[in-house]
Amino acid sequence: MAPEDFAYLSEKAGETFLRAYIQPRASRSEFSGTFRQRLKIRLSSPPVEGEANRECIDFLAKTIGVSKSDIKLLKGGQSREKTFVISRPIGFVREKLKEAGLERV
């Protein structure tokens, strides 16, 4: 795997850190490439009262196949640039993202 693959993922102590760039109020929730070395995620929720943050955690949990409690928002609660911690090793998260169609994104 080339170093640029999954550059938005890192691992520490068996947990995966995912850096994301969020675009709220999209027509549907989906992955949309990368932006600023982050995984770009389009969400249908508006950025009001944490709705987009909750939808993002739901979307990631469903895609990766973990419970919502396994994903925590570490940084960026009020920002489009967010960092999530996933309670799984990076290899597991990479495989699940590949299965979701993210090969080099």
Specify if 2 maps to a domain: no
Predicted local distance difference test score (pLDDT) of residue 2: 44
pLDDT tens readout for residues 40-95:
999 999 999 999 999 999 999 999 999 999 999 999 999 999 999 999 999 999 99
Specify if 17 maps to a domain: yes
Specify if 4 maps to a domain: no
Residue 105 has pLDDT above 70, yes or no: no
Residue 28 has pLDDT above 60, yes or no: yes
Domains held by the chain: number: 1
Specify if 34 maps to a domain: yes
Predicted local distance difference test score (pLDDT) of residue 5: 75
Give the residue numbers spanning the domain of 60.
Answer: 9-99
Q: Please give the single-letter amino acid code of residue 36.
A: R
Residue 3 has pLDDT above 70, yes or no: no
Specify if 1 maps to a domain: no
- Contact (CB, 8 A) for 13 and 88: no
> Residue 1: which pLDDT band, with cuts at 50, 70 and 90?
very low
Specify if 67 maps to a domain: yes
Here the CATH number for the domain that contains residue 67 is 3.30.1200.10
The residue to which tokens 């990076």 are assigned: 90
| CA 97/CA 104 separation, integer angstroms | 10
Q: What's the 3-state SS for 55-93?
A: HHHHHHHHHHCCCHHHEEEEECCCCCEEEEEECCCHHHH
> Residue 104: which pLDDT band, with cuts at 50, 70 and 90?
low
Strand-pair category, 81-86 with 15-23:
antiparallel
Specify if 24 maps to a domain: yes
